[in-house]
Structure 1
Amino acid sequence: MTTFVTLTQEEASQLSHEILTRYGYSRPHAAAITRNIVAVQRDEGHSHGLYRLISCVETLRRGGVSPDAVPRIEDTAPSVVRADANNGCSLLAFEQARPLLLDKARTNGIALLAINNSFHFSALWPEVESLAEEGLVALAMTPSHAFVAPAGGSRPLLGTNPLAFSWPRPGRDPFTFDFATSMVARGEIELHRRAGKSIPDNWAVGEDGLSTTDPEEALRGAMLTFGAYKGSALSMMIELLAGPLIGDVLGHETRPATAENSGRPWHGELLIAIDPHKLLGDTMHYHLEHAEILFEEVLAQGARLPSQRRYEARMRSKETGINIPEALYQELTMLRDAPL
């Protein structure tokens, strides 16, 4: 049975910041990474929460991220912002480009942010949710390393290629979803491996191309897309929009950082922000309230809205603290305290 350790949000943030700065991340990068992963952990997103500190340190040790890179933000067109992360973490690039993206969306009705040359490991929903909290409709996507076989194939070619969307709701938390176009995020398989648990037989195939329930075999083989050809098509769309369209690479042209420093883990991210007021003018409030009918009808059937569980977890964390598995907490404290 898994036992948990409870931390306040401040304790979780301090632990994250101490680990990141101890191993060489600059304070701006450590702060941006901490804000993201603590928010995800607060919402009980275990695969992208504090657990990700381990890969942040490992990637840095293997030369896969520039820990003190200064993003270069460019105003390239009336509705376009570019952010060159300079092989640094994508999160700081997003935070520094966000004010200009907001300004352009409010001025022109729509704006795009292209983040290039970035190390991306994190959940996308905090980014789109932060834009929806400003009254914008937001979409984000990024390719990742070739871990996933296209539908009908058996070898890794596509990334897990997540897609995130957020819709502003008057007086309520935004409607937000964030999911991989693979059956699950790769982190979920890694967590099953760490816990010694099997995985469902529709998540991945082994190196022989056959379905497997062994997470070790799955990590050596290929993950599967959700919805067969539909998920595969969406994954390919994300590869194109957040790759060649913004002047960046395809997922299979990247490689995770390795102990031999031979990896190339940097790629792109595309965000789209839309201002409903520019589309609707004085009728915007009517149409946003009209949209609430859809959410009400979903709930009336006893169904759950995407993001509903996260917001419930957020409230629990505010009341009782942030819970992480005791084994992970011990691993993180050892990482913080071990001699360099």
Structure 2
Amino acid sequence: MTAMTRMTLDEVRALSEMVLARQGLAPEHVAAVTETIVAGERDGCTSHGIYRLLVCAHSIRNGKVVRDAIPIACDTAPALVRIDARGGYAQHAFNLSRPVLAAKARRHGIAALAITNCVHFSALWPEVEALASDGLVALACTPSHAWVAPAGGTAPLFGTNPIAFGWPRPEGLPFVFDLATSAVARGEIELHRREGRPIPLGWGLDPGGQPTTDAAEALAGAMLTFGGHKGSALAAMVELIAGPLIGDLTSRESLARDGGAKASPIGGELIIAIDPAGFLGPNVAEHLARAEALFEGIAAQGARLPSQRRYEARARSLIEGVLVSQALLDDIKALLG
């Protein structure tokens, strides 16, 4: 049985800050990246929690992250903003540009943010939840490395290419979902490999293009999209609108730039923010109430809203802390040595 250690969220935060600072990351990047890692652990998304410190350390040590990058913003059009992360993590660039994006969305009803030349290692829901908490509807997507085969193919071409959506609610936490267009996040397969557990069929192919339940073989071969051709089409869409459309890399180009380092993907992220009042004017409250009726209709059938499990985990961890694998914790603490 795997030994587990209980940690408070403050302990998770302190550990992340120490590890990232030890890797030479600048303080503003340490703070931004840490909050994303704490959020993942807090909300029960363990594949996006402190496990990612190993991923960050590997990427930094291989020279694939500019440790002290200073993002540069460009006001390209009335409803557009572009920020060059200059090889740093996306989190700091997003924090800097979030107020500008929100202001443009409120001024024009809709606005888009292109974060370019940034390193990705995490989920997208923290960004869209933040914007939804500002009262905006938000949509975000990004390519990654070419790990995923298109439907009917056997060779990696797409990234896991997540799509995240946030919707503000008059009371309580926003409605948020974040899904990879792959059958599962790559970090989930990696956790199965670390723990010696088989993966379900449908997650990946071995290097010969055959279905496999061996996590290591899937990581060496190709991941699969969810829903066959439907997930494949969405993955292609993300490649286009968060790659060439904003002047940044596709997943295959990102992997080529990696040069075998097996570091985190680098590329672009597209975020669209919509102000409901821009469409609805004085009727905004009435129509947001209609949205609440939709959510109630889902819950009334015993179905779970996509963000519900994360929020339930959040409520527990804020009181009880989180359980972390001692083996994983040992590996992370070794980074401090």
Name the residue aligned to 2:318: 318
Change (3 A) 1:35 1:162: same
1:11-64 CA distance string (max 9 Å, x none):
111110010011110000000000111011100101111100001010011111
The CA distance in 1 between the partners of 2:253 and 2:270, in whole Å, is: 18
Structure 2 equivalent of residue 240 of structure 1: 240
Which whole-Å deviations, capped at 9, do the CAs of 1:48-104 have from their partners, x for residues lacking one?
111000010100111111111000111111110101011111111111111100110
Distance verdict in 2 for CA 1:199–1:256, change over 3 Å = farther
2: CA distance between counterparts of 1:79 and 1:34? 30
> Which residue in the other structure is 1:79 paired with?
79
Q: Which moved more, 1:248-257 or 1:178-187?
A: 248-257
C-alpha displacement at 1:257, in angstroms?
7.7
AA at the equivalent of 1:213: T
Find the aligned partners of 2:323 and 2:256 in 1 and give their Cα distance. Answer: 29
**Residue pair 1:79, 1:110 contacting (<8 A) in 2 also:** yes
Q: C-alpha separation between the residues in 1 aligned to 2:229 and 2:262?
A: 33
| Residue 125 (structure 2) aligns with | 125
What is the aligned partner in structure 2 of residue 305 from structure 1?
305
Distance 1:143 1:294, change over 3 A: same
> SS at the partner of 1:114?
strand
Deviations for 1:151-197, whole angstroms, at most 9, x for unmatched residues? 00000000000000000111121010001000000000000000000
Task: Kindly report which structure 2 residues correspond to 1:164-203, keeping only aligned pairs within 5 A, or say none.
Answer: 164-203=164-203
Contact 2:246 2:268 in 1 (8 A): yes
DSSP-derived class of the 2:217 partner: helix
* In structure 1, C-alpha distance between the alignment counterparts of 2:172 and 2:218, rounded to whole Å: 40
Change (3 A) 1:198 1:84: same
Write out aligned runs for 1:9-28 (5 A): 9-28=9-28
Letter of the structure 1 residue corresponding to residue 281 of structure 2? G
What is the CA deviation profile of residues 191-227 of structure 1, one whole-angstrom value per residue up to 9, with x for unaligned ones? 0000000000110011111100000110010000000
Equivalent residue number for residue 142 of structure 1:
142
Distance 1:188 1:27, change over 3 A: same
Secondary structure at 2:173's aligned position in 1? strand
Post-superposition shift, 1:148? 0.2
Return the letter of the residue paired with 2:223. Answer: M
Match of 1:95 in 2: 95
Output the aligned Cα RMSD.
1.5
Shift of 1:331: 1.6
| Distance in 2 separating the partners of 1:327 and 1:47 | 15
Q: Which amino acid aligns with 2:167?
A: W
Amino acid across the alignment from 1:133: S
Alpha-carbon distance between aligned partners in 1 of 2:6 and 2:216, rounded to the nearest angstrom: 30
Alignment length (residue pairs):
337
Verify: 1:6 aligned to 2:26, yes or no: no
SS in 2 for 1:255: helix
How far apart are residue 262 of structure 1 and its match?
Answer: 9.5
Matches of 1:233 and 1:285, distance apart in 2? 35
Cα distance in 2 for residues equivalent to 1:262 and 1:325: 23
Q: Which residue of 2 aligns with 1:64?
A: 64
Aligned 8 A contact 1:62 1:258 in 2? no
Aligned-residue sequence identity (percent) comes to: 55
Residue 54 of structure 2 corresponds to residue 54 of structure 1? yes
Alpha carbons 1:148, 1:155 under 8 Å: kept: yes
Does 1:285 find its partner at 2:290?
no
Q: 1:257 to 1:322 in 2, by over 3 A?
A: farther
Once residues 263 and 186 of structure 1 are traced to their aligned partners in structure 2, the CA distance between those partners, rounded to angstroms, is 13
CA shift, 1:261, in A, is 5.9
Cα distance in 1 between the residues matched to 2:107 and 2:145: 35
| Aligned amino acid, residue 68 of structure 1 | D
Return closer, same or farther for 1:95/1:256 CA change in 2, 3 Å cut-off.
Answer: farther
Shift of 1:297: 1.1
Q: Tell me: CA distance 1:158–1:198, structure 2 relative to 1, closer, same or farther (3 Å).
A: same
Q: Post-superposition, which runs of at least 4 consecutive aligned residues in structure 1 deviate over 3 A?
A: 256-265
Deviation of 1:265 after TM superposition, in Å, equals 3.8
TM-score of the superposition, structure 1-length normalised? 0.96
Aligned residue for 1:254, secondary structure, equals helix
Aligned to 1:216: 216
Matches of 1:243 and 1:291 in 2, distance apart? 32
- Render the CA deviation track for 1:286-320: whole Å, top value 9, x for unaligned: 11111111111111111111010000000000110
Corresponding residue number in structure 1 for 2:33: 33
- 2:107: which partner in 1? 107
Is 1:228–2:219 an aligned residue pair? no
Task: Find the aligned partners of 2:154 and 2:241 in 1 and give their Cα distance.
Answer: 24
TM-score normalised by structure 2 residue count: 0.97
Report if aligned partners of 1:85, 1:117 keep a CA contact under 8 Å in 2: yes
